[in-house]
Amino acid sequence: MINLKKLALAATVSGALLGTGAAQAAVVLDGWGLSYTTAQGTSTTTNIGHLSLSGGFANVIQETDAAGNPFVGANFVEFGAIYSIGYVPENVQGANDFGSPSFLNNFASLSIVFNGLSGSVTSVGPGGALEYVFAAGVGSIQLFGQVLGGPDEVLLADLSLINPSGGGLNNFFGSSGTNGFSTLTALITGSLAGLLSDPSEGGALDEYIAEGRLFFDVRTNNQISAPAVPQDPAACLQLYGFENCSALLVTSNGSANLLLVPEPASLALLGIGLLGLGASLRRRLTPA
């Protein structure tokens, strides 16, 4: 059974830490491992540098003005999946492992499914170029696994976008092949016990997941597959709450590194503060 240790404290701590620059100071884990079991067998892959992502797609519903133009502050909704995931073996310290992707042990396959991600446009250029940010904690991201091509698919982990997450598109009105990019910070909020491990961290990483300190840094190169097409305003309003919207299909390829936020002294200070808050609440609840 999946271990969903979505503690409010962990969420508070991780949000505070990553939102104040700790994500930039996070450590890229080298030579980590991934292990899980289905009815078809067990897959244990070690010495992972990073995951290699390909075959991704995203259906994007973008809010526009009445003329079909995106604008600063316009919202969007996104859903899709990444179906082809391998790994690049560890060969360089940090995030720059290189070489051809390898298959996971025992012909295992991974897929990522995301639904209801949302965000807003932060800038629009005169040529249709735009930049955007994702809203933290909105929507769902799930990692699934299979072994030996079997039909049984197991839910391995739940993830949630946190700041910073966003990207850009060279031309919202561009034809097929127009380029873009995304950089996503995906916090692991729950996983199967023992799913992720790292010898340098003493083995299984479950404790770090429970503490809200383990996340994937996902970088993708994107291309428009189906250009933006204005949708029926009534449908936009009913389904997405937008008065006007356009739909486009984007494909993607990229990589995912596993990162760990070191436990800082501020975490201990936060703990002291929470203890003090608890003591204060107890005093208030104690009859005179």
Would you say residue 8 lies in a domain?
no
The confidence score (pLDDT) of residue 150 equals: 80
The first and second tokens of residue 113, run together, are 């499914």
Higher pLDDT pick, 24 / 178:
178
Q: Which pLDDT tens digit goes with each residue over 11-55?
A: 444 444 455 455 667 999 999 999 999 999 999 999 999 999 999
The confidence score (pLDDT) of residue 24 equals: 64
Q: Which pLDDT tens digit goes with each residue over 131-144?
A: 999 999 999 999 99
Segment among 79-93, 148-162, 187-201 with least mean pLDDT: 148-162
The first and second tokens of residue 143, run together, are 């990692």
Task: Count up the domains in the chain and report the number.
Answer: 1
Q: Name the pairing type of β-strands 140-146 and 179-191.
A: unpaired
> Is the CB of residue 109 less than 8 Å from the CB of residue 78?
no
**CA–CA separation, 48 vs 30, rounded Å?**
7
CA separation (Å) from 172 to 169, 221, 247? 6, 15, 11
Would you say residue 10 lies in a domain?
no
The confidence score (pLDDT) of residue 285 equals: 41
Looking at residues 218-242, what average pLDDT do you find? 97
Would you say residue 286 lies in a domain?
no
Q: Any idea how long the chain is?
A: 288
The confidence score (pLDDT) of residue 211 equals: 94
* Reported confidence tier of residue 264, pLDDT bands at 50, 70, 90: low
Nearest to 164 by CA among 9, 10, 264, 21: 21
The confidence score (pLDDT) of residue 4 equals: 39
Higher pLDDT pick, 177 / 270:
177
pTM assigned to the model = 0.85
Would you say residue 274 lies in a domain?
yes
**CA–CA separation, 251 vs 181, rounded Å?**
10
Would you say residue 4 lies in a domain?
no
Q: Which pLDDT tens digit goes with each residue over 147-160?
A: 987 888 999 999 99
* Reported confidence tier of residue 284, pLDDT bands at 50, 70, 90: very low
Q: How far is C-alpha 83 from the chain's CA centre?
A: 15
**CA–CA separation, 136 vs 15, rounded Å?**
9
Dihedral, 193, 205, 28, 253 alpha carbons, nearest 10: 0
Would you say residue 16 lies in a domain?
no
**CA–CA separation, 245 vs 76, rounded Å?**
9
Segment among 6-10, 105-109, 175-179 with least mean pLDDT: 6-10
The confidence score (pLDDT) of residue 273 equals: 40
- Average pLDDT of the residues of the chain: 87
Residue-number span of the structural domain to which 169 is assigned: 26-279
Looking at residues 69-98, what average pLDDT do you find? 96
Which residues, at least 6 apart from 162, have a Cβ–Cβ distance to it below 8 Å? Answer: 14, 15, 18, 19, 23, 136, 137, 185, 186, 187, 215
Would you say residue 209 lies in a domain?
yes
Looking at residues 107-121, what average pLDDT do you find? 97
Would you say residue 65 lies in a domain?
yes
Higher pLDDT pick, 272 / 101:
101
